Structure 1
């Protein structure tokens, strides 16, 4: 998982640069937190997220705003049942007698199971140990419970226990640990078990598991509770964490969520015997988390049809649907209305990113806002991850009386705004926010900012649109968003949006471009920007145990196809550690081969990877004379409630002269008129030239430079790096957010120069591993041949030797021609590096 893989082998003195920032729910031993945490673990949302019928079928108990609520179907009042201090409640399951509710509670450290007595309001903790305990489901007689827990292993396993007045008894794991024989990329080598529910007779449990399944979270199974050896596969289905199969009260149908053959999850039906499934609902949005009513006549579910989450009840026969609309909310505690009015340095109303932490230690947001959560944090500074929402300029929240902490941030050109305000009970308060500009001097360039790597929809909680994506960008002071269309296993979300020109949602200061990410975790992922005609298909290769198992096409072939459409090709989220060819157990990344063969137009130096490690490898290529611009991309899943983000967290600044046309953005990136950053703004000028330029000289000598730093956060290190060596370190004083300096450097060889800023550790105001920024190079061209760097050339020879050996051992090329073409391409690249030694 990237967040702890990058803790090893960082560049230079920063070997433990971000050790204090850790993943949320770090106790879970599974790869790729950004998928399972969003798609499986309950998230804080302003709308409903999970539900349960009361036994009479007249009301629902559901989670919303991190509390449990009860609402009678057809009425508009929601009554808050729980409101824990500094914690959030999810996944209610009402007992068959209607006296209590089981649920899961997240406190920033783990998720435990609790029970609420509906008559007395007494809350009782049922599990301990700070594991992740989710999806509690009571048996039909209310005497037993099934749930999923990571207790003891860090993997998602099925547990059962007897339910007693004093708590749980005889808790045990029903199914043992099992390792599949096949390799898996997005999933652990250990099988997981998810989504339990009881059959009406209480004898069996339905669940989802990935026994010998490579892609997706697995198939629908059932197991006899009293004889765990009696296991049956119900249905083969590519699921994605949230199928949640549930048998109808009469035992004849199984309801579950499926995206099979489409891009969105809808409700489907099969039988306990696994009959071919049939769709129950339709639509280009998600319906999930469905539960049968006790009489089997209705189905309740969560939907994101309107973008945010909502709740509805649908008649099984006829399909008439009742929306569960909340007109009034009866909170457990006293509230106040807090209005935030955001303006820039000129007094203009502007959108921004906002966090509000109430006196109850919980994040809050407007009822219609999308709540987002960071994917990691420093536990010495925060008890839980940062939650935030995008405010259109003025927004109102219902917050508990007492002190409320407000954090407002708008991109990188303004300083963060923080304030604590006191809210009196049952009052209204307006807080004016005046943002302070902290921008680079205009002499360094006329910049437009771009996030080269965003996924508008990627199976997340919300349903995003280009119009909303533009609003997200505007709140982050971001000018250009490249929505990279890509597969999530068998789906390709957003493929219907592809077009070669800007999306109509674009505006005077916001450009939305639909582009592509080519997926192969074997060769490395590619960003394909400014495609003019079509998405390149298949959208991935080297997916073992699928019909697209062949490593062909390799990335060089895909790059040629993209260039034929006039596109740009970049390597995205490249390296989590500095590659040491001699020590890598396997090495298949094609990056150096594509660079030496002229296929790569940019690299995400700042992205979903370790920035210093990526830069170390980038520097080696620059030393060999390759002119590779610095790009940046967040890899934000912009419809997630829990994401690596927000949109624009990692961005590249393009010196376009102020032009926001696609051609201007493309040309600036291709030419290297850029700097990449997750916070600090950098200005670099040498002899009147800027990044991307070449300074041609008749001989060696001194050159004059000028630099500038403007940063929303304090910066530890600001350095000039020449040909891979730090040649000047600038001393930063005070808040370490501003610097203007000039001086002279000695230039004795061809080469390059960049300005970079970085921190030793993380900063809570930068939702990334650590603050980092770098310019693209300014190049020096002196008479004579470019000096050869034998060590760097040898490094890539050793790299490609490992890649060639790995690829030669593959037996899943479709044809000998595919294999021979691939190996020849790699060997040719290896020989070019060898000739540079």
Structure 2
């Protein structure tokens, strides 16, 4: 789970601008933590249904699927395509009460706008056009008004209402004024939001979700009279996560919503307009969301992920009989063809891989039932929309519009990308074979296994993973070891049932799955706990203000001790998006320097969900002081997301284990710093024939290095004590280099790194980056920079101590407070001695 520290927002924006064009998807939204609201709230492209609305007779549905709108009669397997925009995707249909029109959301890579479709003529009318995010359109019962959620104006989600006529919308206005809560919030904007609108049957009231004075969760259920917005009232208080979507039954007595009250997954619940104690309407260890009443109130349509992907079902409210709406036959707006993709490795064997397919319609396509994923950012100068992809266990069969299509296949870092342009003809089609070419490092540099140290199997996304499906994704990414870090999202821990010590039984001959833990405290920084031998640590968070767990105790040093008692490795995950400056950052509370000095931190995600160069800058300072914190890598992929930061294995560490996936061997290599971390380039380094993690005397040394990369590399450098001592010229395709030479090295460390100034579409990350662990030279402490770096961390801990002291009232007594301050002050004193030139 990713939670960025709210420090130096301006610096973060500058860093984002420096990434040469790569920007977050829908960057006009000014709500923090886009990896939550984008997936948990906004519509996503999925091959299965994503939202549905009943037709007025209750005998059919209009629903979104694969970026189009479809109409289907209940009990029939034929789905008729209603829309198919070129290079854009349609979502969230709402049917007019007379059944003549549908209002929906269309995403074109730049914004989400509202459109109306006339069902009799097929004519489309654009309703909004201000470049904002406009979602959740709901037509009033009389068909004359429209309510929806928009970011227009200030970039926050707010509730809007307008008159809806033949020419479009008039009298557009925010129903609720802008309001700021008096409490501080971490995952949500300081401005209150209003989302999930629906109309009462009489058209006088809108039910919605809002978060006034709510610190955790997307808010409570509210009601507002349209004619008197000042009379809004809270109906029911409950922690929600963007998906409650309350809707009053046609009889006006039952309020339906999705919630996870005391559970790990969303199910359907009923309360009343007056907020009676909720009772569940459905049960199960999976999500039921996007629920809609039938016009007569006897049935409910919803989307669930019981089978892994998204499925549309209709359930009888009385009796619970449930029908699955399946589009076995499809009547499309354009002729379709079939593409059968086969994937082979260098030995001619079939292998799974990651695939992107763009059809002649400019849209992403995938096999029916495949999990379609989308990147979390892209360069708008190079692409119209973000990259979409799916994992293919060949052969894979796709239906897509006839005409030219572009196919790209990728498999891990040791395989070169494969691209092809193919003309898809109407009819059954012919197989297309992708022959993948390997480009591994020479074996002299090590026998590596790759590991993603930071994955979340399930985290509230559209899909539902099992250990078996996670292993299959890792295999398609040519990833050897996966650490699923079980973690909370406020009240829930979706993967808690999967936690177990040792190797997960879902592991197979090529992928080892291990269940670990991410410990949450957005005050001290998040920890990865790898291979706990006994039990999951609870509560798995601290410092949650405005709750009974507001205390910053236990601090991360305490948690590290508890994890080490179980034989686990402890690391800092997704550390820094910026270059921390203790002289300016009054809010600095990250505990890494203290834990590094106390030898509690075994590794740091130098390559992860952060800025790699900024994180490496802090890491270099620790290395200069002789603090041997190893380089790790973790994607922080919420693997069941459709809008995924990923894929799984995008950030990985290569561990020199002679090819062994044995967990003890791999973790020992990680602890010793034997290997390299990367999001693409492969690096090999030998110094006097010794690999990273080795210790050598100061003096002259012969080096040998190798680069193999699936994407072009701009910079390849040997770094000694934080200073580039040798840069290498890359020519041709800039993907390979072998070099050797000699260096005269003083005390400290030496490593090899590769990086680019800007993003590359072939790496779904900020920019390509890789680093080896250091080779230690002489006494292993830099011969220069020690006092300056020690003073830097002394100032850093001054800030941490001041901020911990400011939260004294949150601690549960003087014992917690004193123990925390003593721990921090002891680390500071050791840094201060080094800053004064006194050796440790």
Normalising by structure 2, report the TM-score. Answer: 0.97
Distance 1:621 1:578 in 2: 14
The answer to whether 1:780 aligns with 2:777 is yes
SS in structure 1 at match of 2:213 = coil
Equivalent pair of 2:552/2:811 in contact (CA under 8 Å): yes
Per-residue CA deviations over 1:616-655 (Å, capped at 9, x if unaligned) read: 0000010001111110000000000001100000000011
Distance 2:251 2:182 in 1: 38
Pair 217,568 (structure 1): closer, same or farther in 2 beyond 3 Å: same
The answer to whether 1:406 aligns with 2:407 is yes
Equivalent pair of 1:7/1:19 in contact (CA under 8 Å): no
SS in structure 1 at match of 2:834 = coil
Query: How do 1:334-349 residues align onto structure 2 when only pairs under 5 Å count?
Result: 334-349=335-350
Equivalent pair of 1:112/1:126 in contact (CA under 8 Å): yes
Q: Which residue of 2 aligns with 1:524?
A: 525
Equivalent pair of 2:102/2:116 in contact (CA under 8 Å): yes
Distance 1:586 1:489 in 2: 23
Distance 1:231 1:71 in 2: 37
SS in structure 1 at match of 2:469 = helix
Distance 1:783 1:271 in 2: 67
Q: Which residue of 1 aligns with 2:157?
A: 156
**What residue ranges of structure 1 are gaps of 5+ in the alignment?**
none
SS in structure 1 at match of 2:653 = strand
Pair 653,495 (structure 1): closer, same or farther in 2 beyond 3 Å: same
Distance 1:552 1:784 in 2: 33
Equivalent pair of 1:4/1:22 in contact (CA under 8 Å): no
1:560 CA displacement: 0.1
Q: Which residue of 2 aligns with 1:179?
A: 180
1:230 CA displacement: 1.1
Distance 2:349 2:551 in 1: 55
Distance 2:758 2:186 in 1: 30
SS in structure 1 at match of 2:465 = coil
Distance 2:16 2:355 in 1: 33
Q: Which residue of 1 aligns with 2:451?
A: 450
Distance 2:589 2:229 in 1: 41
**Of 695, 712, 715, which residue of structure 2 is paired with 1:714?**
712
Distance 2:554 2:654 in 1: 32
Per-residue CA deviations over 1:365-391 (Å, capped at 9, x if unaligned) read: 000100000000000000000000000
Query: How do 1:535-550 residues align onto structure 2 when only pairs under 5 Å count?
Result: 535-550=536-551
**What residue ranges of structure 2 are gaps of 5+ in the alignment?**
836-840
SS in structure 1 at match of 2:454 = strand
Equivalent pair of 1:5/1:576 in contact (CA under 8 Å): no
Equivalent pair of 2:721/2:782 in contact (CA under 8 Å): no
Distance 1:737 1:136 in 2: 48
Q: Which residue of 1 aligns with 2:535?
A: 534
Query: How do 1:425-824 residues align onto structure 2 when only pairs under 5 Å count?
Result: 425-695=426-696, 697=697, 700-747=698-745, 749-782=746-779, 789-810=786-807, 811-824=809-822
Equivalent pair of 2:137/2:149 in contact (CA under 8 Å): yes
Normalising by structure 1, report the TM-score. Answer: 0.98
Equivalent pair of 2:7/2:588 in contact (CA under 8 Å): no
1:393 CA displacement: 2.3
Moved more, 425-434 or 83-92: 425-434
The answer to whether 1:237 aligns with 2:235 is no
Q: Which residue of 2 aligns with 1:91?
A: 92
Pair 14,783 (structure 1): closer, same or farther in 2 beyond 3 Å: closer
Q: Which residue of 1 aligns with 2:379?
A: 378
Pair 379,832 (structure 1): closer, same or farther in 2 beyond 3 Å: same
Per-residue CA deviations over 1:559-583 (Å, capped at 9, x if unaligned) read: 0000000000000000001110011
Distance 1:258 1:788 in 2: 54
Equivalent pair of 1:572/1:604 in contact (CA under 8 Å): yes
1:15 CA displacement: 9.6
1:202 CA displacement: 0.4
Distance 1:24 1:88 in 2: 14
Distance 1:62 1:498 in 2: 36
Equivalent pair of 1:52/1:62 in contact (CA under 8 Å): yes
SS in structure 2 at match of 1:760 = coil
1:425 CA displacement: 2.5
SS in structure 2 at match of 1:229 = helix
Equivalent pair of 2:794/2:832 in contact (CA under 8 Å): yes
Per-residue CA deviations over 1:769-795 (Å, capped at 9, x if unaligned) read: 000000000101259997771000000
Q: Which residue of 1 aligns with 2:824?
A: 826
SS in structure 2 at match of 1:428 = coil
Equivalent pairs counted in the alignment come to 832
Per-residue CA deviations over 1:224-255 (Å, capped at 9, x if unaligned) read: 00111110100001010010000000000000
Distance 1:183 1:826 in 2: 25
Distance 2:780 2:163 in 1: 82
Query: How do 1:262-277 residues align onto structure 2 when only pairs under 5 Å count?
Result: 262-277=263-278
Per-residue CA deviations over 1:640-672 (Å, capped at 9, x if unaligned) read: 000110000000001111111111111111111
SS in structure 1 at match of 2:232 = strand
Per-residue CA deviations over 1:393-452 (Å, capped at 9, x if unaligned) read: 210110111110111000000001111111122341321100011110011000000000
Per-residue CA deviations over 1:118-144 (Å, capped at 9, x if unaligned) read: 000001100111100000001111111
Q: Which residue of 2 aligns with 1:202?
A: 203
Equivalent pair of 1:257/1:266 in contact (CA under 8 Å): yes
Distance 1:208 1:429 in 2: 50
SS in structure 1 at match of 2:430 = strand
Per-residue CA deviations over 1:50-70 (Å, capped at 9, x if unaligned) read: 000000000010000000001
Per-residue CA deviations over 1:467-506 (Å, capped at 9, x if unaligned) read: 0000000000001000001100010111111111111110
Equivalent pair of 1:6/1:576 in contact (CA under 8 Å): no
1:346 CA displacement: 1.0
Query: What is the RMSD computed on CA atoms of the aligned residues?
Result: 1.7
Distance 1:299 1:782 in 2: 70
SS in structure 2 at match of 1:836 = helix
Pair 501,785 (structure 1): closer, same or farther in 2 beyond 3 Å: closer
Moved more, 248-257 or 394-403: 394-403
SS in structure 1 at match of 2:810 = coil
Distance 1:27 1:483 in 2: 32
Equivalent pair of 1:8/1:577 in contact (CA under 8 Å): no
Distance 1:787 1:727 in 2: 14
Q: Which residue of 2 aligns with 1:390?
A: 391
Distance 2:97 2:359 in 1: 35
The answer to whether 1:22 aligns with 2:20 is no
Equivalent pair of 1:17/1:762 in contact (CA under 8 Å): no
Moved more, 659-668 or 267-276: 659-668
SS in structure 1 at match of 2:605 = strand
1:6 CA displacement: 9.7
Equivalent pair of 2:542/2:554 in contact (CA under 8 Å): yes
Pair 535,721 (structure 1): closer, same or farther in 2 beyond 3 Å: same
Equivalent pair of 1:7/1:18 in contact (CA under 8 Å): no
Distance 2:331 2:653 in 1: 46
1:835 CA displacement: 1.2
Distance 1:573 1:819 in 2: 27
Equivalent pair of 1:450/1:654 in contact (CA under 8 Å): yes
Pair 782,159 (structure 1): closer, same or farther in 2 beyond 3 Å: closer
